[in-house]
Amino acid sequence: FGELKPQLAISHPELDDFCDDYTDGFATFATANGKQHRIIHSDVHTALDAALLALEAEPYVVPSSGMVVIQALLADPRHAEDTIILAGFGHSGWDGHPFEAERRLVDRYIASGRVMRLQPLFASSLSQGT
């Protein structure tokens, strides 16, 4: 994301730490805690941007991290036979993400059979007593 820093300094100055690289810190934390640390290659980000632009994405800063992970899994040959199941991915949040275009892209992935949305067990909330 380093190449975004000059542009973001003008368009979104509140994101002054957005492009900071925490890779080494995450790697150290993962190693110290017996966790796996993966870096998502920039090709995944580039392909996702192209897919979103093809769907006429509204202006955005970056795709959501959830959408980046979905794209990374779909692009990974180790997951070529897997179905990705989404739970609680509601396409809402920070206005710097292109959520409507992301929803359209996920709908395409669902139509292709590679992605599914996990549906709640009940149509209404148990906390509402219905």
Per-residue pLDDT tens for 47-94? Answer: 999 999 999 998 888 899 999 999 999 999 999 999 999 988 878 778
Helix, strand and coil content of the chain, in percent to the nearest 5, comes to 50, 5, 45
Beta bridge partners of 84: 115
The number of domains in the chain is 2
112 falls within a domain: yes
Q: Which residue has the tokens 């900071």?
A: 20
Backbone φ and ψ for 84, nearest 5 degrees, come out as: -90, 125
Percent of the chain scoring above 90 in pLDDT: 58
Q: Does residue 130 lie in a domain region?
A: no
Q: pTM for this structure? A: 0.79
Give me the domain span that covers residue 58: 41-121
Predicted confidence band at 35 (pLDDT cuts at 50, 70, 90)? very high
